[in-house]
Structure 1
Amino acid sequence: MTSWTARLGHRSRLVVACSQFLRFGLTQLVSCLFPAALFAGLAVSKYLSLPIARNDALLVFCLLLTFGFWLAGLETWREIAVIFGFHLVGLALELFKVQIGSWQYPGDAVTKFGGVPLFAGFMYAAVGSYICQAWRRFDLRVSGYRPILTTVLAVLIYANFFTHHWIVDLRIPIALGLLLVLRRTWVFYTVGARRYRMPLALSFALIGFFLWIAENFGTFLDAWNYPDQVDVWRLVHPAKFGAWALLVSMSFVLVASVKSLEGRLYHRGTPASVATPTATEISPQHRIANRVRT
């Protein structure tokens, strides 16, 4: 009897685990609405004849998509502002990288400057949109987060994407510094009725990996090309996975600044377990503490 009940309990736990994993995956997919729509636009514009240049059409599509998200209440004006901020950060990086020949954008367009179409910034904005959506749908909170040090390192990571062309590449020392600062930083999230946590640094790595996969799809759809992909498509170098994982830190810092203003940044200290209706509620006292800490 004991053996039978033990097997039954094990099977029940397995079913719950599988159910939670599927629920987690579905929530992730819904959080990727903006990136998914962007890639749908890339696919359609590649194979469909358009009355205007492809890059111009993609810019119009991305602007309408952003406005639609705000109109539907999927993103707040503060989130739109921070996403636009990451758009500008990404666009500056694109202008520099294209000028030095790191990659190129095929095709002409009215909205193409310095070899970079303006829609390119929305690929970075899509990362910010995903983080905002995931924050809301998973009820994300962080503990042990050190905003000033993390911001400084995120800025250094971004600057290194420019400076390593003239001086020694410092991404490894900066990455190690980021791991040191985030060693006690946890991100808490809810799936169904349960509350989980994972190291924030691990979440950066996971997002970076999926961004590397997305970049392979983007180059396959001829949105942009690396020098070795101009004649025939090849897999994007795996080293880009690390670059994306580091760049995610900049997006996270921007989104976290908004969540701090909203009182939705810091975790109350409730253990990662089955959540109660108030398990993730932010108390007035904690909101005051958030403002003081930031």
Structure 2
Amino acid sequence: MRTAAAMMRILLRHLFARPASMASMASMASNDAGPASMASSDADASMASNDDDLLFPPEPDPQKAATDDALQPHPGDWTSYSDDQRLSAPRGAVFETRLAASAALRELGNERYRGDDVDGARVAYARSLWQAHFDEAWVKLELTDDHRGQLFDVTVPANLNCARCLLKTANTSEAKGHVDAALSALDDVSTTEQRRAWRAKGLLLRATCLREAGRYADAAAALDEASELTDDAAVARARHALRQARRDARSGERAMMRGKIAPPPPPEKRTCAVS
């Protein structure tokens, strides 16, 4: 009898415990659904917030703002255009048209530079580079070696000439950016006599930028590399300018230290009292 009663009590406990267990499971299920839906809504809100953060107005493009779409893109149609109209001509849809326009605007920059209009020359060089600007990935992956060479034969001298203008206005950092772009482009094409001359010119300009920035060792290294490409007197002049800049820097440091370290005070005068 005791065994039967004990078994009955155990059975009753299980029967009464089952609804509680099922209720607990239902509660857990509802709790799982709750946080999941909250997490989903939070994620949606976060994504919406990020989307709002990305909706910044695009930065103004001065080259696009200066473009007159009513003009013709090919320089062959520019014979009656003024210089301002040439600088406002739109980009063409054909690769060769854009290269021709870029070359024509670079020549306009050269004319202005020879006339001592440095600011006007820089504007023309910048527009020349804009005409010949293509997506970097497209240039590296889609263009053939010949077409890439044609492109860089237009952009390299424009970058170097633009850097020269910027150096005349003491804009060293931006000038170095143009020089680096030109030298990087020359690394991606085969060497010709003209490209060798451009590389030497680029290294001389890089040395000037580094010298102006106080990086004398790097400037000397650039001049050493340039001297392997040309024996032009410009290398000798650049070395002289670098030596002078180093002397001036050392003189300035000595003058600064003299101002910071005061001379020692005169020795104290002592008198002996004889009693």
| Range class of TM-score, shorter chain | under 0.3
Give the TM-score taking structure 2 as reference length.
0.23
Give the TM-score taking structure 1 as reference length.
0.22
Q: Greater RCO between the two (CA within 8 Å, min separation 6)?
A: 1
Greater strand proportion: 1
Greater helix proportion: 2
Larger Rg: 2
